[in-house]
């Protein structure tokens, strides 16, 4: 039997990719066996600041509104903006009676911590002209010695020992006035507090133990106080500060009496010492840029030094660019192949659904490629590196939901021979419902998916390699626009197949490299990962602010089981198959890849955790957590392999981007052009789809560039939030259409509008975890829409073939 040309072409490409994959794999393993990673990826810029001809008081160096301020017993000075001189400050409230113990910033306000008139107080301060202005002090309930303060969220924390040596910990709101201090349980270890600092939603306390080195304790709402890895020395009092998204930086005196700057990585609990940061007898320490500044006593006054971390770029080498170039040209080649082969065909079926000739396995792989974007390739490993595998619970539960979809939902819609899934809403309800839902889908895809998928890899690669973020976004965006609009859905689906191979190849390379590099330490690292619950999957708690099993079940029921047809991007693949039976098989293929694919990407995160626990000096504290995997790719892997895995990142992004562009152009042409124009024709419909694909692509590029201006902790969470806010409303319309006979057009319209408004209200009040927004929005649409439908007449038209129920006798008779 003759095989389709597209099948032969794709098979040839895959064979060549497979040969190159095996060759590079062998080279990687050989190169990895001799690789050693010991040098720090960051450099330290150190220097001196002008001296002061007086001696500072202990803890007398603070940061107030971005300015470095120094205190003696009677006076205060501020360092000039150019760092060349100290300028005296008038300090009316300093009568010599306040003994400084530290400082803290919270809710935009600086506070001095100290003792005055038999009380420990937090003193709000600010700099106005040449005056240090003090506000109304906040007295603590008891007098504390060795007191330290920190800010976590909108709350102030103060810890210290009372006269009997008992440790106290207090908390109060930093923004609300007239609130009392609340006493909390302190760490169980008896000792002297040396530091208190917040980082990544946790509170850290350095505790000095007489005759021993300091201990480091961590507090979180879930685990309370827990001891973490000790610094192997004494933390200089008040020197601890947060750095980046996951590091603590402090000065530590070792057993030989030498003082060095050290970092503690809060995710891996690993310590690293900064090179060339030897400090001498610091009496006061404060934050300085991305580092620390400290004061030391001198013969003629006080000497000041600073040490600031600087990250470097890992430029791609010529072999990396060659591999990336070959990949991009291959994608263009496939797009133009299908363009030239089908250039004489101007039918919408060929351009939008591949002539309904796509094999089920290719459609299934394309479904996985579309669903697995650069968010999966970068943000999911970062999420697993940062936390654990809890989000993978969604994959496991989703497979169960996809079984229902494969048997009941997809065959029903495939039998209708749709090109736009929103055509179903017109047949079931009204043309206005179709166009409203289609418009919301377009906005959601551009706003919550396309822009994030473009921005995330571009930002990560730009941050690590120095390639400008604009060029990274343009490179992926423009190439994807060209091959997806030129070759139509056939080019999109078959390039997806190749991109899945490239994507998995890069991911497996990374895991293999890490395990090989771990060598004899692998068993210990695996044990440490197990002890830290890094592979924990299930959370059965009923906390709505967390990603729990119940939340995922709730989400899958509403996002997959009840509303799978809402996603034109996925449904277009199933509509491209040869029959309703093959459409169902494409979903089974998708489900079969989802679980092992999930283990691969979450496994990368855990492997990265093991690698950086063993090599903390190879982290760059100045980079966001989402850049962890790209940092590893650029800094650790051999030339050529780095290019291959970056091509894998591009593949993950471009497979989803091409699917979104192709689907949105389909919606624009089918749902709007063919509905609004009196005499539409296929040739014009295809041309409109091509040009709308170009326009949508550049809109997505523009939004991605706009997003680069904002500091976003986790783009994975942001994409979930945006999808929930924009995509849940119209999704519920499918549930009302397929699972009920009573729902009607007016009720559904009210349901869509009402769900969007209520979900926005929930979002503004931050009531639940972002993962719940989509399910809540869908549920609201179903409930509001169904109740509203009861106030209007029941549908009068035949519902034959439009619901999951058996036909009524009247419908059966009309067959």
Q: How far apart are CA 726 and CA 733, in angstroms?
A: 14
Residue 270: its H or E element: strand 270-273
Mean pLDDT of the chain: 85
**pLDDT tens across 728-770, in order?**
778 889 999 999 999 999 999 999 999 989 888 888 887 777 7
Residue 170: its H or E element: strand 167-173
Q: Identify the pLDDT of residue 59.
A: 87
Q: What is the residue whose two structure tokens read 């309703």? A: 580
Beta bridge partners of 168: 160
Phi and psi at residue 201, to the nearest 5°: 75, 10
Whether residue 26 has pLDDT greater than 50: no
**pLDDT tens across 78-122, in order?**
999 888 899 998 876 544 567 888 899 988 889 999 988 788 999
User: Which stretch of 82-96, 433-447, 608-622 has the lowest confidence by average pLDDT?
Assistant: 82-96
Q: What is the residue whose two structure tokens read 């947060």? A: 242
Q: Identify the pLDDT of residue 583.
A: 93
User: Are the C-beta atoms of 47 and 289 separated by less than 8 Å?
Assistant: no
SS3 802: coil
- Cut 0.95: pTM above it: no
Instruction: Mark out the alpha helices in 258-407 (DSSP H runs).
Output: 318-341, 348-353, 360-371, 374, 380-386, 393-404
Phi and psi at residue 281, to the nearest 5°: 45, 55
Whether residue 808 has pLDDT greater than 80: no
SS3 277: coil
Q: How far apart are CA 158 and CA 203, in angstroms?
A: 11
Q: How far apart are CA 105 and CA 89, in angstroms?
A: 20
Domains of the chain, earliest start first: 42-176+183-311 (2.120.10.80), 352-805 (1.20.1730.10)
Q: How far apart are CA 209 and CA 281, in angstroms?
A: 20
């Amino acid at each position: 039997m003759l095989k389709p040309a597209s099948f032969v072409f794709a098979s040839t490409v895959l064979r060549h990719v497979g040969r190159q994959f095996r060759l590079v794999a062998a080279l990687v393993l050989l190169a990895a066996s001799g690789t050693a990673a010991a040098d720090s990826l960051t450099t330290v810029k150190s220097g001196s600041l002008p001296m002061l001809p007086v001696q500072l008081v202990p803890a007398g160096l603070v940061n107030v509104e971005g300015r470095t301020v120094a205190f003696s017993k009677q006076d205060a000075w501020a360092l000039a903006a150019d760092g060349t001189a100290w300028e005296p400050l008038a300090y009316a409230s300093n009568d010599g009676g306040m003994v400084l113990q530290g400082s803290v910033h919270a809710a935009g306000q600086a506070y001095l911590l100290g003792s005055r008139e038999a009380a420990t107080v937090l003193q709000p301060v600010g700099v106005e002209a040449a005056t240090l202005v003090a506000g109304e002090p906040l007295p603590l309930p008891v007098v504390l010695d060795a007191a330290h303060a920190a800010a976590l969220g909108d709350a102030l924390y103060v810890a210290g020992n009372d006269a009997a040596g008992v440790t106290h910990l207090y908390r109060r709101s930093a923004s609300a006035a007239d609130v009392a201090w609340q006493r909390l349980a302190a760490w169980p270890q008896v000792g002297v507090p040396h530091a208190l600092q917040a980082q990544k939603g946790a509170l850290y306390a350095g505790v000095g133990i007489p005759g021993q080195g300091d201990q480091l304790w961590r507090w979180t709402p879930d685990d309370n106080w827990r001891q973490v890895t000790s610094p192997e020395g004494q933390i200089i009092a008040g020197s601890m500060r947060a750095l980046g998204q996951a590091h603590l930086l402090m000065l530590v005196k070792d057993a030989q009496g030498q003082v060095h700057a050290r970092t503690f990585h809060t995710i891996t609990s690993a310590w690293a010492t900064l090179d060339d940061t030897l400090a001498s007898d610091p009496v006061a320490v404060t934050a300085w840029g991305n580092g620390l500044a400290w004061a030391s006593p001198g013969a003629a006054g006080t000497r000041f030094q600073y040490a600031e971390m600087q990250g470097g770029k890992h430029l791609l080498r010529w072999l990396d660019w060659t591999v990336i170039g070959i990949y991009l040209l291959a994608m263009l080649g496939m797009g133009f192949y299908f363009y030239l082969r089908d250039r004489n065909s101007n039918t919408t079926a060929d351009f939008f659904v591949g002539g309904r000739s796509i094999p089920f396995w290719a459609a299934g792989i394309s479904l996985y490629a579309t669903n697995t974007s650069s968010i999966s390739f970068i943000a999911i490993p970062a999420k697993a590196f940062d936390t654990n595998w809890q989000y993978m619970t969604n994959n496991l539960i989703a497979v169960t939901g996809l079984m229902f979809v494969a048997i009941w939902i997809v065959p029903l819609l495939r039998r209708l021979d749709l090109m736009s899934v929103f055509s179903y809403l017109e047949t079931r309800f009204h043309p206005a419902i179709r166009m409203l839902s289609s418009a919301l889908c377009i906005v959601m895809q551009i706003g919550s998916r396309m822009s994030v998928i473009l921005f995330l890899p571009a930002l990560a690669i730009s941050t690590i390699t120095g390639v400008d973020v604009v060029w990274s976004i343009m490179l992926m965006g423009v190439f994807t626009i060209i091959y997806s609009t030129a070759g139509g859905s056939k080019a999109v689906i078959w390039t997806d197949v190749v991109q899945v191979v490239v994507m998995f190849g890069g991911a497996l390379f990374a895991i293999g490299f890490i395990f090989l590099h771990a060598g004899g330490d692998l068993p210990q690292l695996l044990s440490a990962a197990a002890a830290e619950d890094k592979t924990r999957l299930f959370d059965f708690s009923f906390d709505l602010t967390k990603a729990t099993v119940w939340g995922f079940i709730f989400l899958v029921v509403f996002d997959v089981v009840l509303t799978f047809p809402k996603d034109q991007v996925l449904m277009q693949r199933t509509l491209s198959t040869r029959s309703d039976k093959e459409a169902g098989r494409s979903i089974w293929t998708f489900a079969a890849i989802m679980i092992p694919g999930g283990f691969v990407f979450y496994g990368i995160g855990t492997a990265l955790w093991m690698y950086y626990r063993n090599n903390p000096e190879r982290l760059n504290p100045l980079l966001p957590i989402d850049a962890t995997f790209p940092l590893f790719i650029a800094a650790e892997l051999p030339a050529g392999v780095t290019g291959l895995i970056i091509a894998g990142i591009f593949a993950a992004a471009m497979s989803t981007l091409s699917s979104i562009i192709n689907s949105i152009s389909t919606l624009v042409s089918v749902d709007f052009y063919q509905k609004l124009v009196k005499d539409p024709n296929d040739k014009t419909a295809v041309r409109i789809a091509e040009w709308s694909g170009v326009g949508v692509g550049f809109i997505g590029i523009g939004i991605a560039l706009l997003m680069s201006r904002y500091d976003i902790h986790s783009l994975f969470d942001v994409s979930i939030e945006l999808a929930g806010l924009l995509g849940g409303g119209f999704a519920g319309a499918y549930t009302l259409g397929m699972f009920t006979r009573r729902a009607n057009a007016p009720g559904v319209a009210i349901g869509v509008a009402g769900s969007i408004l209520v979900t926005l209200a929930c979002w503004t009040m931050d009531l639940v975890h972002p993962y719940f927004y989509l399910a809540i929005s869908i549920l609201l649409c179903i409930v509001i829409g169904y109740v509203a439908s009861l106030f209007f007449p029941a549908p009068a038209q035949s519902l034959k073939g439009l619901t999951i129920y058996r036909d009524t006798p009247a419908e059966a008779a009309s067959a």
